[in-house]
Structure 1
Amino acid sequence: MNAQEIEPGLFIRGLTPPLRLSDFKLVAFDMDSTLINIECVDEIAAAAGRKAEVSAITEAAMRGEITDYKDSLRRRVALLKGVPLTALEAVYADHLELNPGVEAFVQACQSAGLKTLLVSGGFTFFSDRVRQRLGLDFARSNVLEVEDGHLTGRMVDRPWGDIVDGAEKRRVVLEVCELMGISPEQAIAVGDGANDLPMMSVAGLSIGYHGKPAVREEAMLSIEAGGMDRALTVLR
Structure 2
Amino acid sequence: MTIATLIAAGRLDDRLAEAACAHFGARRGAWVDPGSALDLQFDGKVPAVDGWESVDLLPITPGPRRRLLLVADMDSTMIGQECIDELADYAGVKPQVAAITERAMQGELDFAGALRERVALLAGLDEAVIALCLAERVRPNPGAATLIATMRAHGARCLLVSGGFTAFAEPVGKMLGFNQVRANVLAVRDGKLVGTVDGAIVDASVKRATLIEACATLGIARNATMALGDGANDKAMVEAAGWGIAYRAKPALAEVADARVDYHGLDALLWAQGIPRAEWIEV
TM-score, normalised relative to structure 1 = 0.91
Shift of 1:212: 0.6
Aligned match for 2:237, one of 199, 206, 209: 199
Q: 1:40 corresponds to which letter in structure 2?
A: C
Provide, for residues 92-136 of structure 1, a one-character-per-residue CA deviation record: whole Å limited to 9, x for no partner. Answer: 000001100111111121111000100000000011101111221
Shift of 1:9: 4.0
Q: Which has the higher strand share?
A: 2
* Greater gyration radius: 2
Structure 1: where are the runs of 5+ without partners? none
- 1:78 and 2:117 aligned: no
Conserved in 1, the CA contact under 8 Å of 2:149 and 2:177?
no
- Structure 1 CA distance for aligned equivalents of residues 103 and 212 of structure 2: 27
SS at 1:218 equivalent: coil
Shift of 1:16: 6.7
Q: 1:35 corresponds to which letter in structure 2?
A: M
- 1:12 and 2:58 aligned: yes
SS at 1:100 equivalent: coil
Conserved in 2, the CA contact under 8 Å of 1:30 and 1:196?
yes
Paired residue for 2:77?
34
SS at 1:106 equivalent: helix
Q: Which has the higher contact order (CA 8 A, sep 6+)?
A: 1
Paired residue for 2:268?
230
CA RMSD of aligned residues (A): 1.9
- 1:140 and 2:182 aligned: yes
Conserved in 2, the CA contact under 8 Å of 1:141 and 1:164?
yes
Paired residue for 1:118?
160
Provide, for residues 137-178 of structure 1, a one-character-per-residue CA deviation record: whole Å limited to 9, x for no partner. Answer: 111100000011110001111xxxx10000110011101111
TM-score, normalised relative to structure 2 = 0.77
Conserved in 1, the CA contact under 8 Å of 2:68 and 2:220?
yes
Runs of 4+ in 1 over 2 A off after TM superposition: 1-9
Aligned match for 1:188, one of 220, 226, 231: 226
Paired residue for 2:102?
59
Conserved in 2, the CA contact under 8 Å of 1:44 and 1:87?
yes
Structure 2: where are the runs of 5+ without partners? 1-44, 275-283
Conserved in 2, the CA contact under 8 Å of 1:9 and 1:223?
no
SS at 1:143 equivalent: strand
Percentage identity across aligned positions? Answer: 41
Aligned residues: 228
